[in-house]
Amino acid sequence: MDHWVDAGVKTLAMTYSGGDLFGQLGQEATTALAQKAGIDIVLSEAHDPAATDFTPLVTKVTDAKPDAFVTWGASSSS
């Protein structure tokens, strides 16, 4: 995340797939790295990977006005 700090990133919004290890570990690792880099996480929210409408989640991200956004997720298709 040093390159994010170098680029002026001070705030981060993050979403992750809830209920699976990939999303959970991605969220945990990103949180730890952001804290170490001094980046404030302004939103950290789980989402349902099977959802078809992410409008409410995207609205929360834009309302948080982060400098950067990251999402952790995997396809739920079978």
> What whole-number distance in Å separates Cα of residue 23 and Cα of residue 60?
18
Mean pLDDT lowest among 10-14, 20-24, 33-37: 20-24
Q: 78 and 21 in contact (C-beta within 8 Å)?
A: no
The DSSP secondary-structure symbol of 53 reads -
Q: 48 or 42, which is more confident?
A: 42
User: Chain-centre distance of CA 30, in angstroms?
Assistant: 8
The chain-wide mean pLDDT, for the chain, equals 90
When pLDDT is averaged across residues 45-64 and rounded to a whole number, the result is: 93
